[in-house]
Amino acid sequence: MQTNNLIGPDKVMDVRPFPCSEKHGLIIKTWMELPVGDHFILFNDHDPVPLRYQFAAQWPECFAWEHLVNLPGEARVKITKLKPLGERAEPVATACGGH
């Protein structure tokens, strides 16, 4: 799947229609393909806390994570790629923590 097609012209990536088993992999792949300095806004139905921990563990200091909206039923997070990742690692798909 081409992940660049998942980001709208408003830079929003709406992952609500996708099953949890696919979300993390799609989000990570999309972020990895960004040029340094670019971002997208993740739109989800819950705060993606486990995903943030995954980013912090795998790519410390390579991303910025900014909550724009964090309400029950709606979360929007601006995820920015801050620096090159070096050797490309395959994303590790994880579940959404029971969501």
Q: Judge whether 22 lies within some domain.
A: yes
At residue 95, the pLDDT reads 56
Q: Judge whether 93 lies within some domain.
A: no
Please count the CA atoms within 13 angstroms of the CA of 36 that sit on its side-chain side: 7
> Encoding tokens for residue 7?
């980001």
Q: Report which of 83, 79, 90, 89 is spatially closest to residue 11, judged by C-alpha positions.
A: 79
Q: Judge whether 23 lies within some domain.
A: yes
Q: Report which of 51, 59, 47 is spatially closest to residue 89, judged by C-alpha positions.
A: 59
At residue 96, the pLDDT reads 63
Q: Judge whether 46 lies within some domain.
A: yes
At residue 42, the pLDDT reads 98
What CATH number is attached to the domain comprising 70? 3.30.110.40
> Encoding tokens for residue 84?
């090159």
pLDDT-derived band at 88 (thresholds 50, 70, 90) equals very low
Q: Judge whether 92 lies within some domain.
A: no
- Domain count along the chain: 1
Which residues constitute the domain of residue 64? 3-81
Predicted TM-score (pTM) of this structure: 0.83
Mean pLDDT calculated for residue range 75-96: 76
DSSP state of 7: B
Q: Judge whether 88 lies within some domain.
A: no
Q: Judge whether 43 lies within some domain.
A: yes
